């Protein structure tokens, strides 16, 4: 399929909920390139689904981790250290905001909803990177998933736009600090794709439709296009790229 060989490398995938998850598309392509993967699942409700998917791959490991819980992050990395030894890639594909915060006016955003959205969707990158770095003894690549609402005002995307702006800034800040360790940190800004998280955004289908009409390529994107970009950003083919947000959105972001 693709000739990038990453055998001997290891990766942690955070953010698989089901077979539609962007993280699962990325996991499949990394596994195909030879990467041994660890998957985390958010809670018991998602465990069976994530386990069934991970079992389709060779030698994958599965660990619980709610990114709101420091002790779960710590325990997850202890297990990864024991079972994988080292880490080359961290894929952060996690976002959450309370449903009410993604409806109605941004002006009405409640303090607790704002804090929760930024904690899960932005702070978690820092918390996860902190424990990944000591395991990235031979350099590494950290990727986060973002959306154009970090840069533009998008109706009803509300506080998630704020969270994505913070996430992209965290990517730049971490890239600066981790560059000397040979660790690259980048974001992929994806066009709309239909997933569980997308269903939480009120009016997602009209966003999806508007994207198809406006994007230079006149279509929506496929999850596989996000995954191939992730593969590129994990491989040495992108060795000169860090601190960047790479748009995989059929060109939508250039349009007025």
Ligand X SMILES: NC(=O)c1ccc[n+]([C@@H]2O[C@H](COP(=O)([O-])OP(=O)(O)OC[C@H]3O[C@@H](n4cnc5c(N)ncnc54)[C@H](O)[C@@H]3O)[C@@H](O)[C@H]2O)c1
Q: Does 95 bind ligand X (CB under 6 A)?
A: yes
Which residues from 46-85 bind ligand X, rule CB under 6 A? 46, 66-68
Q: Which stretch binds ligand X (CB under 6 A): 74-82, 144-152, 171-179, 234-242?
A: 144-152
Distances (CA, A) of 126 to 186, 190, 244: 13, 21, 16
What is the number of H-type helices and E-type strands within the chain? Answer: 9, 7
Q: Is 58 exposed, middle or buried (0-12, 13-18, 19+ CB in 10 A)?
A: exposed
Tokens of 248: 């995989």
Rank residues 6 and 14 by Cβ distance to ligand X and give the closer one. Answer: 14
Task: Give CA–CA dist 232/30, Å, rounded.
Answer: 10
- Residue 61 main-chain phi, psi, to 5 deg: -115, 155
Nearest distance from residue 41's CB to ligand X, in Å?
A: 7
We find the least distance from the C-beta atom of residue 182 to ligand X, in angstroms, to be: 25
> Does the protein bind ligand X through residue 21 (CB under 6 A)?
yes
In the complex, least distance from residue 120 CB atom to ligand X, rounded to whole angstroms: 5
| Catalytic hit among 41, 77, 157, 247 | 157
Site string for ligand X, 32-51 (x = CB under 6 A): ----------x---x-----
CA distance 253 to 236: 26
- Least separation in angstroms between residue 231's CB and ligand X is 16
- Residue 193: how many CB atoms within 10 A of its CB? 20
Q: Is 147 one of the catalytic residues? A: yes
Instruction: For the segment 146-205, give every residue that binds ligand X (CB under 6 A).
Output: 146-147, 190, 192-193, 195-198
Of 41, 77, 147, 247, which is the active-site residue?
147
Between the alpha carbon of residue 209 and those of residues 3, 46, 112, 156, the distances in Å are 34, 29, 32, 15
Q: Which pair of structure tokens corresponds to residue 60?
A: 């994958």
Integer Cα distance of 161 and 155 in angstroms: 10
Q: Does 120 bind ligand X (CB under 6 A)?
A: yes
Q: Is 145 in the site for ligand X (CB under 6 A)?
A: yes
Class of residue 1 by CB neighbours under 10 A (exposed 0-12, middle 13-18, buried 19+): exposed
* Binders of ligand X in range 202-221 (CB under 6 A): none
Q: Whose Cβ is closer to ligand X: residue 174's or residue 190's?
A: 190
Per CB under 6 A, residues contacting ligand X are 15-17, 21-23, 42, 46, 66-68, 93-96, 120, 145-147, 190, 192-193, 195-198
- The catalytic residue positions are 147, 157
């Amino acid at each position: 399929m693709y000739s990038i060989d990453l055998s001997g490398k290891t990766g942690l995938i955070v953010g698989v909920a089901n077979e539609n998850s962007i993280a699962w598309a990325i996991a499949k392509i990394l596994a195909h390139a030879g990467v041994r993967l660890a998957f985390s699942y958010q809670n018991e409700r998602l465990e069976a689904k994530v386990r069934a998917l991970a079992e389709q791959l060779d030698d994958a490991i599965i660990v619980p981790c709610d990114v709101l819980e420091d002790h779960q992050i710590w325990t997850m990395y202890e297990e990864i250290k024991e079972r994988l030894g080292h880490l080359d890639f961290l894929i952060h594909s996690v976002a959450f905001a309370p449903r009410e915060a993604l409806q109605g006016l941004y002006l009405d955003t409640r303090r607790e909803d704002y804090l929760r959205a930024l904690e899960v969707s932005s702070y978690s990158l820092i918390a996860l990177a902190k424990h990944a770095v000591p395991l990235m003894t031979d350099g590494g690549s950290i990727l986060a998933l973002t959306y154009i609402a970090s840069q533009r005002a998008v109706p009803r995307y509300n506080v998630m736009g704020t969270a994505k702006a913070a996430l992209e800034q965290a990517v730049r800040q971490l890239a600066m600090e981790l560059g000397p360790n040979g660790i690259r940190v980048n974001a992929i800004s994806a066009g709309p794709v239909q997933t569980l998280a997308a269903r939480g955004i009120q009016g997602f289908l009209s966003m999806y439709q508007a994207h198809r009409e406006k994007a230079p390529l006149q279509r929506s994107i496929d999850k596989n296009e996000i995954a191939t970009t992730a593969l590129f950003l994990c491989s040495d083919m992108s060795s000169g790229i860090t601190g960047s947000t790479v748009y995989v959105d059929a060109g939508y972001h250039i349009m007025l």
